[in-house]
Amino acid sequence: MGILDDKVAIVTGGGRGLGRAHCLALAEAGAAVVVNDLGAGVHGERTGDSPADEVVAEITKLGGRAVANHASVSDWDATEALVADTVAEFGRLDVVVNNAGIVRDRMLFSMTEAEFDAVIAVHLKGTFALTRHACAYWREASKRGERVAGRIINTTSGTGLFGNQGQSNYGAAKAGIAGLTVLTALEMRRYGVTANAISPIAATRMTEGLEVGASLEAGPGGFDPRDPANASGVVVYLASDAASWLTGQVLRIEGNRLNRLEGWTVSGVYPSRSGEALTPEELMDAVPRLYGAAPAGRATGVGQ
């Protein structure tokens, strides 16, 4: 018995890298998997190959259940059909892993409108589109009195949470996905649906040539801290009934370590002296104090 027996999952961008690892892990845990991947290059260009079919063949060979889907996640109608086709094929839908992604890195002062739009379309709109159609399906099922245990598992990134130069399109999309996760959790809790996001680190095509996870140490016995499969155990856990209590969270996976992340929190407060609205004059003294800088000094940088 696997912990996901009888569950049905869709994984977007499931043909390569992290998505492929998630598909294999979900199938191994007993889920039927719809492997979505349109076969794109790292910048979103069509490659003409079909990594989704290759992953389906791998899963089937191992005795699992899987079918391929070649829609682009940023296609509204195609993602609606993806949900409908999944239900037609397997009778239900339980888990959506929004993972598909591309990059078009450039410093923001040189970034083109097309580079910004393309990245937002795949990550942010793609995550929204499939989430929206899946949530409509779960809401209807819940209204019919069916037991719903829906799971949205989104993919954010350290770039969206902490920043990284040259990735303003990608970071904005990933920060948007973290926010969308919180909103999805709030709106869907009453229908039995949870929404969480992972922030993984992995050596994949997307991170080729980058020093991703350079500080992560290899473990004993040849453990590879940059193996995409390191994030998949968390995906399987979040997909399971055991995680029904956890929603609206961002979980960061660094090799064999899981970090609990907290979002924006209030870490200081300055009430105006007068009790009226803050004035620019008062703020000249108050803001540096609030940020721990000497008055007339300036705050240090952001990010890392």
Closest residue by Cα to residue 235 from 9, 6, 2, 1:
9
| Choices 24-32, 68-76, 141-149, 273-281; region in contact with ligand NAD by CB under 6 A | 68-76
Closer Cβ to ligand NAD, 32 or 178, answer by number: 178
By CB under 6 A, name the one of 36, 131, 184, 232 that touches ligand NAD: 36
Closer Cβ to ligand NAD, 126 or 150, answer by number: 126
Q: Strand, coil or helix: what is 163?
A: coil
Contact 4, 30 (CB under 8 A): yes
Contact 206, 13 (CB under 8 A): no
Closer Cβ to ligand NAD, 216 or 287, answer by number: 216
Taking CB under 6 A as the rule, does residue 37 contact ligand NAD?
A: yes
Q: Active site residue: 72, 125, 137, 174, which one?
A: 174
Q: Could you confirm whether 170 is annotated as catalytic?
A: yes
Closest residue by Cα to residue 46 from 148, 140, 122:
122
Contact 43, 121 (CB under 8 A): no
Contact 219, 206 (CB under 8 A): no
By CB under 6 A, name the one of 3, 42, 81, 182 that touches ligand NAD: 42
Q: Could you confirm whether 157 is annotated as catalytic?
A: yes
* Minimum distance from residue 202 beta carbon to ligand NAD (Å): 4
Closer Cβ to ligand NAD, 32 or 235, answer by number: 235
Taking CB under 6 A as the rule, does residue 99 contact ligand NAD?
A: yes
Restricting to residues 204-233, which ones interact with ligand NAD according to CB under 6 A? 204-207, 212
| Choices 12-20, 58-66, 132-140, 279-287; region in contact with ligand NAD by CB under 6 A | 12-20
Neighbours of 293 (CB within 10 A): 13
| Bridge pairing between strands 257-261 and 250-254 | antiparallel
Chain centroid, CA 185 distance in Å: 14
Closer Cβ to ligand NAD, 34 or 201, answer by number: 201
Chain centroid, CA 115 distance in Å: 20
Restricting to residues 143-182, which ones interact with ligand NAD according to CB under 6 A? 155, 157
Q: What is the C-alpha to C-alpha distance for residues 119 and 158, in angstroms, rounded to an integer?
A: 16
- Say how many residues touch ligand NAD, by CB under 6 A: 34
Taking CB under 6 A as the rule, does residue 115 contact ligand NAD?
A: no
Please give the helix or strand (H or E) that residue 161 lies within, else none.
Answer: helix 158-162
Q: Could you confirm whether 244 is annotated as catalytic?
A: no
Tally helices (H) and strands (E) across the chain: 9, 8
Q: What is the C-alpha to C-alpha distance for residues 53 and 35, in angstroms, rounded to an integer?
A: 8
Catalytic residues: 157, 170, 174
Q: Which residues bind ligand NAD (CB under 6 A)?
A: 12-13, 15-19, 36-40, 42, 44, 51, 72-74, 99-102, 122, 126, 155, 157, 200-202, 204-207, 212
